[in-house]
Amino acid sequence: MTNPLGLDLTAEPLRSRRNHWNNQVQRHAAMRPDHDALRFMGKSTSWKELDDRTRALGAALLDRGVEFGDRILLLMLNRTEYVELTMAANLIGAIPVPVNIRMAPAEIGFLVSDSGAKMIVTETMLAPLADAVAQITGTIETIINVGESANDAHVDYEGLVTSSTTPLPDIDIPEDTVALIMYTSGTTGKPKGAMLTHQNLQAQAVTCLPLLDTDADSVASCVAPMFHIAGLGSMTATIYMGATTVIHPLGNFDPEQLLDQLEAEGTTSIFLVPAQWQAVCAAQQARPRDLKLTLTSWGAAPASDTVLRAMAETFPDAKNIAVFGQTEMSPITCALEGKDALRKLGSVGKVVPNVTARVVDPMMNDVAPGEVGEIVYRGPSMMVGYWQNPEGTADAFAGGWFHSGDLVRQDEEGFIYVVDRAKDMIISGGENIYCAEVENALFGHPKISEAAIIGRAHEKWGEVPVAVVVLAEGVDDLTLEEMEPYLNENLARFKHPKDLVVVDELPRNAGGKVVKPTLRETYGSKDSGLEH
């Protein structure tokens, strides 16, 4: 086969022309082998080392029977092995399924059942959780553990990397292959697995490159959890350019420690949520470090004018950018530049060039500027659907556009403002909490007859969930302390209600639906002294 220039295209395998992060790793391994790809806790991994280890790990997974399309659950904190396993799985066409480590065993058990995963990759700290999930489901065949394990049945990660004696075969992975299944909770209360392809992730890289000013010499700090698309999604640009990603461990957020790390690593760009930026700015002003930051970015929750002014004052030479989006869009759909942040306070910015968006009414008619409607999207970063959920996929793509669930208005300059959520959702510390999911869990408590979850403003977390409940017949009292064992068993801790309000009945409209605006007006601003 030849092209119009007369070149023999059969001499170059099609596989090597695929535009996805595995080929990008191989390209950098060949062109800048000794440059740092990843740094974590004082240990550097070069592009050549990353390529060698992921290929060896991919071969070992093949040896263990992992096939094209198989799903592998990732139950780990942020670490180098998270990236290695993701790349290794993708090399053979397998699909990583990142899991929020804060979830309860029963919640993770649902993801195992829904995804059909038979393998979990975990680490020493989380190995007991992986064992509990395996016991609940009875379908997990293999648990791979990074570090020492108290369970002899676990497979040692490092041993796996060095175990395969068979070279990894050349496997062509088309760009429309699913690269990740990222679970996101829905209004029905059951998580849905957004299928993101290599094309989606490549489109995310194209979005991020100009927004985040990423070049080959960039040093990007990854603080966001890798089990969120904000973590892995932010790495698409650095992997594309062959830049360096500094992976920060998860744990209690310490702004002093973070600033020391940014100084030591020479970090040039970092994403944090507004509450983190507030703490970082205060710590930097109290004890300035010699930082090389050229870009500061934020998102996942609104930022106040106080935080924005503090960022501008503390990091005057850094470009400031806010990003907005959702998992199903890989995730960025809108961006707000620092120069517009104060004059457009409350806006999530303008739609990024890689995305087409409309603001529509329920009949899919465009609304006029200033009017409220749902923002819907199209573009190469848009997921291909929800895993094994045709009904949910059909609803999401009704009318041929992806429905975000966000009710917005757009001003005359094109800036988007989120005014309400079509999806009943609370954002707490950057984590999405879907009220239906928490309500469904509360309905199973023997002392609760009815339940409604609302959000309450909180100085530290932005919002926290509050449960308004009607007690079962014959029950006189119920406290959060009494409910804690039940909540621990059924919900991730960040989803736990932080206050419990007992009422005789829930307000309902003529159709029998709970009137949440009434509950929010009555209980949403109550000063309950929540500090934890």
- Rounded to an integer, what distance in angstroms lies between the CA atom of residue 200 and that of residue 88? 19
Confidence check: pLDDT of 107 > 50: yes
Provide mean pLDDT across the span 198-203: 97
273-326 per-position pLDDT tens digit:
887 898 999 999 999 999 999 999 998 766 777 888 999 999 999 999 999 999
What would the mean pLDDT of 513-527 be, rounded to a whole number?
Answer: 78
Mean pLDDT across 501-508: 88
Per-residue model confidence (pLDDT) at position 435: 80
Domains and CATH numbers, the chain: 15-173 (3.40.50.12780), 198-421 (3.40.50.12780), 425-523 (3.30.300.30)
Backbone phi and psi for residue 401, each to the nearest 5 degrees, phi listed first = -125, 155
Q: What is the largest CA-CA distance in the chain?
A: 85
Q: What is the pTM of this model?
A: 0.82
Give which of 227, 191, 229 is closest to 106, Cα–Cα. Answer: 191
CA distances from 303 to 66, 279, 473 (A): 44, 13, 44
CB 236 within 8 A of CB 209: no
Distance separating alpha carbons of residues 110 and 313, to the nearest angstrom? 46
Kindly report, residue by residue over 21-47, the tens digit of the pLDDT.
999 999 999 999 999 999 999 999 999
Average pLDDT over residues 252-278: 93
- Mean pLDDT throughout 362-384? 95
Q: Is the pLDDT reported for residue 258 higher than 90?
A: yes
* 418-421 own/partner pairs: CB under 8 Å, 24+ apart: 418/324, 418/348, 419/372, 420/372
* E strands, 68-185, in order: 71-75, 95-98, 119-123, 142-146, 155-156, 178-184
* Strand residues in 14-70 grouped as ranges (E): 36-40, 43-46
Look at residue 422 in the predicted model and tell me its pLDDT. Answer: 62
User: Residue 230 pLDDT > 60, yes or no?
Assistant: yes
Instruction: Report the C-alpha gap between 492 and 107 in whole angstroms.
Output: 8
Q: Pseudo-torsion of CA 13, 16, 17, 19, nearest 10°?
A: 150
Assign 424 a pLDDT band (cuts: 50, 70, 90). Answer: confident
Predicted confidence at residue 531, as pLDDT, reads 42
Q: Kindly report each contact of residues 287-290 with a partner whose C-beta sits within 8 Å and lies 24 or more positions away, as own/partner.
A: 287/256, 287/259, 289/259, 289/260, 289/262, 289/263, 290/263
CA distance 494 to 431: 8
Indicate the range of 176-190, 219-233, 259-273, 336-350 predicted with least confidence: 176-190
Helix (H/G/I), strand (E/B), else coil: 428: strand
**What confidence score (pLDDT) does residue 513 get?**
61
User: Does residue 215 sit in helix, strand or coil?
Assistant: coil
pLDDT at 391 over 90: yes
* pLDDT above 90 for 508: no
CA distance 140 to 349: 44
**What's residue 526's pLDDT?**
55
The mean pLDDT value for 482-507 works out to 91
Asked whether 336 and 321 are in contact (CB, 8 A), the reply is yes
Tell me the pLDDT tens digit for each residue of 425-479: 788 887 878 786 788 788 779 898 888 889 998 888 888 999 999 898 889 899 9
What span, in angstroms and rounded, lies between the C-alpha atoms of 310 and 285?
A: 9
The DSSP secondary structure of 358-396, one letter per residue, reads EEE-TTSPBPPTTS-EEEEEESTTS--EETT-HHHHHHH
Mean of the per-residue pLDDT values of the chain: 90
The CA dihedral of 308, 313, 314, 316, to the nearest 10 degrees, is 100
Helix extents (H) in 410-501: 435-443, 480-490
Q: Are 211 and 352 in contact (CB under 8 A)?
A: yes
Phi, psi of 275 (to 5 degrees): -60, -35
DSSP string, 112-143: HHHHT--EEEEEGGGHHHHHHHHHHHS---EE
What is residue 511's predicted lDDT score, i.e. its pLDDT? 44
Cβ contact 214:243 at 8 Å: yes
Burial 110-143 (b: 16+ CB within 10 A, else e): bbbebbebbbbbbbeebbebbbebbebbeebebb
Residue 1: the pLDDT is: 44
Tens-digit pLDDT profile for residues 411-423 = 999 999 887 666 6
Least confident of 6-15, 220-229, 231-240, 381-390: 6-15
